[in-house]
Amino acid sequence: MSNPHLVLLDEVSLGLAPVVIKRIYEAMVELAVRGTTILVVEQDVQHVLTVADRAACFLEGRISLLGTPGELSSDDISAAYFGM
């Protein structure tokens, strides 16, 4: 727990106050700078894309979109997420 190589987070922003979410995402950046790999499962795409190096959308258990945040448009993400 004191110096993990990998942190797994599932729906980290669900039900939390915006100020708490902001602090959690700031902490993710701090961890990543220290060399920790972070895997986040999150429906709030806009938050996670601000800290992600890579992003993947899954549809029915399969990757429907993969890329860096700069490569992925909101339309691409919506289409991959909703299967359009």
Asked if residues 21 and 13 have their Cβ atoms less than 8 Å apart, the reply is yes
Q: What residue ranges do the domains of the chain occupy?
A: 1-51, 54-84
Question: Quick one: pLDDT at residue 3?
Answer: 82
Of the chain, the percentage scoring pLDDT greater than 90 comes to 62
Please say if the pLDDT value at position 42 is more than 70. Answer: yes
8 Å CB contact between 7 and 40: no
Residue 47: the pLDDT is: 86
3-state SS, residue 43: coil
Q: What is the DSSP letter of 14?
A: T
The pLDDT of residue 1 is above 70: no
| 8 A C-beta contact, residue 36 and residue 7 | yes
How high is the pLDDT of residue 20?
A: 95
The per-residue pLDDT for range 46-69, each reduced to its tens digit, is: 888 989 999 998 888 889 999 999
pLDDT averaged over every residue in the chain: 90
